[in-house]
Amino acid sequence: MRIALTRDPAQAGPLEAGLRAAGLEVRFLPVTEQRLPAEAGELTTALERLSRGDFAWVLFTSANTVRALVKLGWDGSLPSQTRVGVVGPGTARVLQRLTGVAEPWMPEAERSAAGMIQEMPEPAPNDSTSLLLPQSAQARSELREGLSALGWDVTQVSAYETDSLVVGGVLAAGDPRRRLLPPPASEDLLDLGQLAADLRRDRLTHMDPTVLLVTSSSAADALADLGLPPRVRLLAIGRPTARTLSRRGIPAAGVLSEPSAAAVLAALGR
């Protein structure tokens, strides 16, 4: 069986390794691109404040957030009093690989924004309540609101934008200077242009018999904009992604509670 993930080969990790170990043929079909904001002044100012020790905590909700700060020059240096938190192991691995920062705090029960809210400690009396939250420009407000309800004074800044590589059913050109990742180059990369051409001719020979693992709501929107028909078998990572697929008329055949090989294999009945 072949499975394609809607992300860049450079983002591959234990999920892909686990799928290959289970005998699946893994391919990549990135349909979105993560870029620095067109105006990064707010993020630059936040990094300067971080280096001065203005924040008691900095929380990373994705590996792309880490990549964005590194692209702007952050090397992982932090004042001794500043604590670091991440949403899960994948983000922690990228954080350590790119900056050397190891053993950050992370939620145990649920590796998500909801899990961070549930397990994040409240500020101690007389301690600083300042918290830096760099996120995607498209991030929802739930995490910021939940942290504020716990007593944290949250500075939320846009660290990157997720832009679709499909606009009006055709491929869109990106800005290489703002890309968080280098241009994808891998023998495991599926040709998005060929897929678009196949769909215009109402053919899917380029994809058959591929299961598509949709990794985000933005990827779900891009697939719908591409004109992907409902007959394609889709698996969604997380309920928000599944809701977007359903809203766009291409419902998922299964919803994963976590981005793991075990969850994918369970959804496939293997």
| CATH 3.40.50.10090 domain extents, the chain | 2-31+165-267, 41-162
Contacts of 106 by beta carbon, 8 Å cutoff, 6+ apart: 85, 86, 87, 88, 89, 91, 92
Lookup: tokens for 236: 């969604």
Q: Which fold has domain 2-31+165-267?
A: Rossmann fold (3.40.50)
Q: How crowded is residue 157: how many other Cβ atoms within 10 Å of its Cβ?
A: 20
Q: Please, what is the angle between helix 89-99 and helix 63-71, to 10°?
A: 20
- Its CATH class, for the domain covering 41-162, is alpha beta
CA distances from 183 to 5, 225, 255 (A): 16, 22, 29
* Cα–Cα dist 182/172, whole Å: 17
- Backbone φ and ψ for 227, nearest 5 degrees, come out as 90, 25
Q: What are phi and psi of 74, to 5 degrees?
A: -70, 130
Angle between the N-to-C axes of helices 192-200 and 217-226, in degrees from 0 to 180, rounded to the nearest 10: 40
Evaluate whether 59 touches 33 at the Cβ level (below 8 Å): no
**How would you write the pLDDT of the chain (270 residues) with one tens digit per residue?**
889 999 888 888 889 999 999 999 999 988 888 999 988 999 999 999 999 999 999 999 999 999 999 999 999 999 999 999 999 988 999 999 999 999 999 998 888 888 899 999 999 898 999 999 999 998 889 999 999 999 999 999 999 998 888 765 555 666 678 889 887 767 788 877 777 777 766 666 656 667 999 998 999 999 998 888 777 889 999 888 999 999 999 999 999 988 899 999 999 988
Give the sheet arrangement for strand 130-136, strand by strand.
32-35, 153-164, 130-136, 57-60, 83-86
